[in-house]
Structure formats: structure tokens, C-alpha cells
Amino acid sequence: MRKILVIGFFIVLLGMLPVKVFAFGGCEEDCMKCHTMSTQDVQQILTKLGAAEAKPLEIKISPVKGLWEVIIEDRGTRGVMYIGFSKRHVVAGPVFEVDTGMNKTQETFERVNRDLARYVDYAKIPLDKSLIIGEKNAQYKVVVFTDPDCPYCAKVHEELKKVVAERKDIVFYLKLMPLPMHPDAFWKSQSILCKGSVQWLEDNFAKKEIPKPDCDNKQEIEANIKLATELGITGTPTLVFPDGMVVVGGKDAKAIIDLVTNPPRKEDKK
């Protein structure tokens, strides 16, 4: 579970040599003399966090000076993490640019995952115990691993609703996958699944209070987490298309429809 926490909010691309940058605090203007971060340094940090199998791909100064932006990869999944110059602190969470409102973390995340296609055995995903958006028996069934307290999931959820409004032949099966970084997500997932209510999930996305769970379905949520782990899915939102293609992160309705109806050939993505 600790590993999911590390990978779920992280990942980026570079070589084995230390990276030097300008920074603030206790240095001359040229802080290249003060701070370095190598892939070996990152690997040691990942190991301490219980994610020894993850590999650093890129290291550079983040949009927030004083932090390294590091891209890591684990079993085909890439993410972004931030490490303090002291190498003693790791920061999880999106970085926003105040002047533009741009989510710089999401920009990096999309860049490093743009050309990375991964496939799983779709037949191994049970569709029961899922929340459903769209017509249950629609031709194209897309599985979505989502977390009730994941802000990206909330945005993608709205795009899923746009898809089914336009295309009656597409349905989404939602698998609730609470991440450890969200301390309330597990009981919220229980409650939403107890009710079997997409509306409760949407209420929670809208920051409305939902009741505590009134049934014992802990094993069902744990089964979702175990399934995700077996499939190499470590973050949310993650979409699994009918051909088994895994897409991590946000996509708009048009892009989702295109991936459903015109999936890239597997050999094109090798």
C-alpha cells in the first residue's frame, strides 16, 4: 500500500549523471556548487519509501525552486514526484502556476505518458461490483479505476458523462480504488459501493458530505486494490479500454471516444 502512495502521485526522464541547478537559501547565486541529485540518490529515496522496484527516468528543477521534479516508472506506469534539495522530504501533490492557473504537474504527467501504451488482460477484470455510467449492455465497455478523493478523477468523471451523452454504445464500469494518500477515501468508497450510487460519488466529487458506510464491504474494496496491483495500476484515474490498453490520467470526452472507436494498433505502440 505504501508503494501505491509513492507511485500514485509521481514520475519523469533523464540520465545517470547528477543534475545541477540554481536555487535559493544559503548559496551563492550559482547554486550549482551546492545541490545535485543523481538517479542513485533517487533510487535510495524510493527504496526507503518502499518502492525499490520503481526507477527514476528524469530529474530536473521543478517549477518550485528548492524542489527536484523527478519522473519515475514502475511496471509500465509513469508519474511525477518532488524531492527537496535536502533529500529528506518528498512532496506529493499538483503544482499550479498562479498567474495562469496551469497545473504544471499534470502537464509533465501527460508529456511523459503520451507515447507510453501498455496493455493488460481485459478478461481478468470482473465487471460486477462496479458502478456504471451509461447503458450496462453497451457495445464498448471501458473500466475506470477511480478514487473518490482524487481531483483528477472528478474531472475525468465529467468527461465520462459527456461521452455517454453522445455515444449510447459506450459504457463505463467504475472500480473504486482508494489511494493511501487520501485517508478518507477508503470509507467513502465503502459507503458509495454500499449504496451502489454513482450520485453519491458525484456528490463527494462536489465536496458534499456523504454518510458513513452502513454495510461491510471492506473485502470488495480490498479486492479492487489487489486487482489494480496485479494489473500494474498504481494511480487514478486509470482507464482500461476493451482491447486492454491502459491509459493513465485525464482525457477529454473526444479523446476517450477516439480511443474506444479507433484504438491504436498494439504494434504501433511498441
Q: Please give the single-letter amino acid code of residue 143.
A: V
Q: Three-class SS of residue 115? A: coil
How high is the pLDDT of residue 106? 79
Question: What pLDDT digit, counting tens, does each position of 143-167 carry?
Answer: 999 999 999 899 999 999 999 999 9
Q: Is the distance from CB of 65 to CB of 23 less than 8 angstroms?
A: yes
Instruction: List the domains of the chain with CATH numbers.
Output: 2-113 (3.10.450.70), 118-263 (3.40.30.10)
Q: Is the distance from CB of 145 to CB of 233 less than 8 angstroms?
A: yes
Q: Please give the single-letter amino acid code of residue 28.
A: E
Torsion sign across C-alpha atoms 38, 61, 91, 210 = negative
How high is the pLDDT of residue 206? 95
Q: Three-class SS of residue 255? A: helix
Q: Three-class SS of residue 80? A: strand
How high is the pLDDT of residue 107? 82
Question: What pLDDT digit, counting tens, does each position of 73-86 carry?
Answer: 886 678 899 999 99
* 132 vs 127: CA distance, rounded Å: 9
Cell of 111: 508529456
DSSP 132: E
Q: Is 240 left (phi over 0), alpha (psi -120 to 50) or beta?
A: beta
Cell of 34: 551546492
Q: Is 104 left (phi over 0), alpha (psi -120 to 50) or beta?
A: alpha
* 209 vs 93: CA distance, rounded Å: 23
Low-confidence ranges of the chain (pLDDT < 50): 4-5, 9-32, 268-270
Identify the H or E element spanning 188. Answer: helix 185-195
Identify the H or E element spanning 142. Answer: strand 140-146
Torsion sign across C-alpha atoms 2, 210, 172, 150 = negative
